[in-house]
Chains A and B, each alone.
Chain A
Amino acid sequence: MSDKKSARLLLEDGTEFRGWSFGHPQSVSGEVVFNTAMTGYPESLTDPSYSGQILVVTFPLVGNYGVPGFDIEYGLLKFFESDRIHVKGVVISDYSFKYSHWNAVKSLDAWLCENRVPGLYGVDTREITKVIRERGVMLGKIAVDGTEVPAEFVDPNRENLVAGVSCTEVRTYGEGRRRIVLVDCGCKNNIIRCLLARDATVIRVPWDYDFTQLDYDGVMLSNGPGDPQQCSATVANIRRAMALGKPIFGICLGNQLLSIAAGASTYKLKYGHRSHNQPALEVGTNRAVITSQNHGYAVDTATLDAGWEPYFVNLNDGTSEGIHHTSLPFFSVQFHPEASSGPVDTEFLFDKFIENIDACKR
């Protein structure tokens, strides 16, 4: 009890929540966002889309099943979405110091320490969520007592976060029949796994790489952090790829970038969608899907060029969940069909992408 170290979450608007430090005892600043998922902290914390963000987990009990082993499969960490923790800090209510799982090798606390990422527990995460919901996402700091607290609130969206998380050189995975370029804007490993499972060779390229000169069958635009307007280099490449007419599939940030390439504008949501329970309806059908999401920006589909149509729409707030081209094999979704973490109901979109590729090749 006595060795508990006090720490606080400070929000831009002056709200303060007092709890205790776990993980790496260091103060940090970032954009405070919440996620309502009830499972999947090893996956979420390593999701590059969280780069620059302090993640508030609304489910109160975290750390229960520890952290899995660092096995490698296809040249990727098997149980994580990238090779390191990307969140700036993590805020929870009840931390399980003791974990229990056959697949765990260490505690969340130990893993955070190794990655030099601070955690805060013992705070009213529901209240923080309500504050963010009412006032919109805001900047904040985790301030650990006895450590130096950053003087300023740092807005990560001013930086090019994508450049910070993208790979720096081209790397190839697998030896499948279909050659797929993966534009890495902060790609989650499971996108690669989903493609490899479908007889593909994945050529992962940096976010601003002109991949159009490569020999490929289709383009996968990955998820990633931050404001899509920062990625004009990628948008320019996408426009070139569109001219080539080969299948394109975008996920999350990839959806926003394809939309921008298709003439649409994007805007920042009040507090984003970060959860495992977002319902999306395929426009013009009765097909409703439950999706995993993690985004702060959205596409205004009213601004799309001719030839493009909304593909999915969010059943809760009506925001765009994807677009597709009426005649060419281009589509993208705002949610995460690769899941991990979250429901896997929309994995069929990878099949659709593969079908598009095969149709094009014929």
Chain B
Amino acid sequence: MQTIDKPEKVILLGSGALKIGEAGEFDYSGSQALKALKEEGIYTVLINPNIATIQTSENIADKVYFLPVTPEYVEEVIARERPQGILLAFGGQTALNCGVQLYRSGVLEKYNVRVLGTPVQAIIDTEDREKFVGKLDEIGVKTIRSEAVTTVDEARRVARGLGYPVIIRAAYTLGGLGSGFCDNDAELDALAAKAFSYSPQILVEKSLRGWKEVEYEVVRDRYDNCITVCNMENFDPLGIHTGESIVVAPSQTLTNAEYHKLRKLAIRIIRHIGIVGECNVQYALDPDSEDYRVIEVNARLSRSSALASKATGYPLAFVAAKLGLGYGLHELKNSVTKSTTACFEPALDYIVCKIPRWDLGKFKGVSRELGSSMKSVGEVMAIGRNFEEAIQKGLRMIGQGMHGFVANKEFAVDDIDAALSHPTDKRIFVVANALKHGYTVDRIHELTRIDRWFLEKLEHIIATERELERYDEITEVPDELLREAKRKGFSDFQLARTVSRCDAEHIEEGMLAIRRYRKERGITPVVKQIDTLAAEYPAMTNYLYFTYNGTTHDVDFARDDRSVVVLGSGAYRIGSSVEFDWCSVSALNTVRAAGLRSVMINYNPETVSTDYDVCDRLYFDELTLERVLDVTDLEAPRGVIVSVGGQIPNNLAMRLEHENVPILGTSADDIDRAEDRHKFSSMLDRLGIDQPRWREMTTIDDIYRFVDEVGFPVLIRPSYVLSGAAMNVVSNRDELEYFLTLATSVSKQYPVVVTEFIENAKEVEIDAVAQDGEVLIYAISEHVEFAGVHSGDATMVFPPQKMYVETMRRIKRIAREVARGLNISGPFNMQFLAKNNDIKVIECNLRASRSFPFVSKVLKVNFIEIATKVMLGLPVEVPHKSAFELDYVGIKAPQFSFSRLQKADPVLGVEMSSTGEVGCIGEDFHEAILKAMLSVGYRIPRQSVLLSTGDARSKMDMMSAAKALQDKGYKIYATQGTAGFLAANGVRAEVLHWPDTGQRPNTLDYLREKRIDLVVNIPKNLSKSELNNDYTIRRSAIDFNIPLITNARLASAFIHAFCRLGHDDIRIKSWNEY
């Protein structure tokens, strides 16, 4: 066998902030690749500004740069580090695009950096649509017939030639950005214009809507050996982006001939293109013949490959990295069995079901219809031994209040036919509704084109529910039916609702009663392994799931008081993502290091915490009370950690405690005292700690009376709303009235909480760890934006740069008192309003917060490690490190994905809307904020900036920034009022007219023609107002891919930073050099 020419130093490009279409999966694949290189003794350098990831933690890469993954910065790092190799396939499209640019500009050649794995030319061949089609034509593989065009007129001509419906795709974009279906000329004109803003070339092709969509994950080594690790079939037919589809693995409706025809083609393609490593091939398959088309090939690790890794247990990214170094598949071991080879194709003896998680309710104006571009923000993977079990588990996992396919809260659909043929994020529940209303499988198939096989299985669930409904008491249900229901994925909750008919108040009691009864009858689930070989060879794997479709456990349970269960964070969604995965993994590491058995429960395939080598036991399963109790019944753990996985585990604390499950750290009662608004408030009163005035009210009159007392603006939080944001700030009586009409009812059952809103207050957070009520370590950070922007969307500065020492002192004191008052043992986070040294508490969470990884990494003290030691009762040594001693600044900036969310208003408010974040370190505030802003996609404007700066206060706030722009020689455009204000203050600006005036020069034309490099648009009031000119400007900026800032303080900070510093002034320093 040939020897391997191993590089000594390799750079890996990460994917930056999490965004729609590019999320946690790349933390997972990058981490695996880094582990693979480390095992080979290779020195690794990682460039990734995403500070919340596991890959940017200590001991993963040898060196980490929190810098933008853009050619300029990567070149600087290459020049500094002089690596021999670079890995481009592990950081999503961001890394791939950056790599292609570095190759094209000759940087890689200049520094003699070898691209490991798939050659760049092969990447280019798959990315450029025309080259790709030509390449596959060479080997007689069918692609979707399409034509590249460069103008809208051409696009229309091609579309008419092909016949509608057609699909439009923009070349070189992330997961379908700028793509969509058009049924007629008008739709085509609109979509094509938008697609051209992303790419000079768009493709028009015949739509194959309704065909099956099937994907293969293919691996090839340098000896030309190929395997397909997994295939997957979309539940939703072609027409819905694969990221928006429910997906099963392996395929379920393909015959052997179809399966292997597509497999053979996939191998032919990977060989012809010359991939070394991994790629995926997506097919459209005719539901009425073996005809097929190749949709696309991704020459890199992808969301699908992360899913395939979790679905099969085959570590795709790890193996791909090794193949990139020159190993052959047959020279690597199967890391699950440790005895058999990595050159094999996993045999599954279960089915997995991936379900996307959407958060469309967080956005105003966004279309809920699913189509060819991706809007989901996360996903779950459910494992079962039949489809019914897997899908019902999965529908619970997505965590949007659903309990499975049936037994959910009544969900009204006005026009079922229309809802079936125009799928939205609720489509699966529309199918449930249709089945209940007597729609036949055939009819639903006609309207949805979902394969009848899936629909028949869903019908089984309905049929089982009907059987169950014949009984009123669980004790009357025959054991066999009860078993059948459990085998079909019914939870105890669903049984409590369907059989015991418990109402909301008694459901908890009811489900626990069912649990007890079931256990008496011996109806309990079994634990099975995912071993890659369907039990053919013994495997010592710790990768586990629960099923009722089996009779024997695959593993033993030591019950030796050494197990510590860590509850993970579930699906990534707005407000909870990779940062909690970092917390979970840090906790697992600490548990392990203490010589205890780390047990993880989580179900998110995009995470590192669900990588079976980060814990001693992984239950890839639900985070419901029922399932966690199943785990604790079997494991008899020393305790459960509920404070590192965000809100899902936190919410389970009390309920687990009721069932006598030992909770590690802060007691469940104390958690409840922080979570319960009334209890917490009265504690603050007792301690003499101030908070904004608030009241929970059940009548409209009370609300008006309260508002009269505290004055506008107020923050209003109904407990039930029809659609749109659940929380809002209202500034006047009209807005209040309008908003209350959105809340369907104000009553005893649905109270409304109204809180006094303090304007122009600084928002400050503290992240801390306490032991028996004594604070051990803390980090105070400030927001750039004033309060009113959700803390998850705010730009955070640590250590704070503009805060009174007295404010810090008071915050510290309050935190100490609260820690003592709640007897905290573990992590906690508090948020404050600070105005003139007046401190009010907004919120307190007795768990790790979103900013734990950020402050831990900036301070270089792992807060979760300390918190976990506290919770385990281990001796804790707290490094005496003070934020005051840091001679650098960390800034955490949010990443938005508005470009994916068609029509959504890209404005910030009290509801969080960012999908990810970065954290960068700089010598000072300006450098740090510049790095952070560039990392989330902002660009330093070349020539011109549009200012439209809202109310008088914002206009004032922006004045010095406007002056700085002028001094720096920028051309300033402004809307009428802003221009007047600027002129009065000595800043020249050219007036651009409001979009709806039709007057020229018009803002809209300038945006469309890209004559503006940065848009600053500050909404006039705090509420998310109706569609208007401001909205048009903001939305156009997003649609035409022009950087947009909507907050005056952030805009000002960014402008001052880039006016003071240029690209060349940014210091290229790795984390450990600070």
Contacts and interface: CB of A to CB of B under 8 A. Distances in A.
B255 A59 contact: no
Interface in B353-397: 385-387
B164 to A, nearest CB: 26
B347 A37 contact: yes
Q: Which of A126, A290, A316, A343 has the most CB of B within 10 A?
A: A126
Given A61-B252, A315-B344, A288 B328 contact: yes
B456 A277 contact: no
Interface stretch (B547-555, B793-801, B805-813): B547-555
Interface in A34-85: 34, 36-40, 42-43, 58-61, 64-65, 68, 79
Interface in A211-228: none
B254 interface: yes
B244 to A, nearest CB: 23
Interface stretch (A127-135, A162-170, A257-265, A326-334): A127-135
Interface stretch (B505-513, B529-537, B561-569): B529-537
A277 B227 CA distance: 9
A39 B254 contact: yes
Contacts of B456: 96, 98, 100
B250 interface: yes
A309 interface: no
A147 to B, nearest CB: 21
Contacts of B340: 315-317
B732 to A, nearest CB: 58
Interface in B473-529: 480-481, 484, 526, 528
Contacts of B347: 36-38, 58-59, 275-277
Given A64-B453, A279-B344, A288-B330, A342 B289 contact: no
Nearest to B259: A39
Interface string B273-290: 000000000000001110
A103 B533 contact: no
A111 interface: no
A94 B453 contact: no
Q: Which of A39, A124, A125 has the most CB of B within 10 A?
A: A39
Interface in B430-474: 441, 451-453, 456-457, 467
A126 B386 contact: no
Nearest to B286: A102
B350 interface: yes
Contacts of B267: 345
Contacts of A102: 287-289
A1 interface: yes
A194 B385 CA distance: 36
Interface residues of A, number: 56
B341 interface: yes
Interface in A112-141: 123-127, 129-130, 133
Q: Which of B226, B346, B453, B552 has the most CB of A within 10 A?
A: B453
Interface string B193-213: 000000000000000000000
A61 B536 contact: no
B329 A100 contact: no
Contacts of A124: 526, 549-552
Contacts of B134: none
A36 B453 contact: no
A287 interface: yes
B793 to A, nearest CB: 44
Contacts of A279: 330, 341, 343-344
Interface in A304-362: 315-317, 339-345
Contacts of A126: 349, 528, 534-535, 550, 554
Is chain A's binding surface mostly helix, strand, loop or mixed?
Answer: loop
A346 to B, nearest CB: 12
Contacts of A99: 453
Interface in B163-209: none
Interface in A153-175: none
B264 interface: yes
A59 B552 contact: no
B328 A290 contact: no
Contacts of B287: 102
B147 interface: no
B462 to A, nearest CB: 13
Contacts of B343: 279, 288, 290, 315
A99 B456 CA distance: 8
A281 B330 contact: yes
A101 B348 contact: no
B349 A315 contact: no
A101 B328 contact: no
Given A1-B480, A290-B344, A129 B256 contact: no
Contacts of B341: 279, 288, 315-316
Contacts of A1: 467, 480-481, 484
B220 to A, nearest CB: 11
B260 interface: yes
Interface string A183-219: 0000000000000000000000000000000000000
A168 to B, nearest CB: 29
A136 B481 CA distance: 35
B328 A93 contact: no
Nearest to A96: B453
Interface in B915-960: none
Contact of B534 (A94, A101, A129): A129
A68 B537 contact: no
Given A278-B344, A288-B330, A343-B263, 4 more contacts: A60-B549, A129-B536, A276-B347, A279-B330
11 contacts: A1-B480, A64-B253, A79-B257, A94-B385, A100-B451, A100-B456, A124-B552, A126-B535, A127-B550, A288-B328, A343-B263
Closest 3 CB pairs of A and B: A40-B256, A100-B453, A36-B347
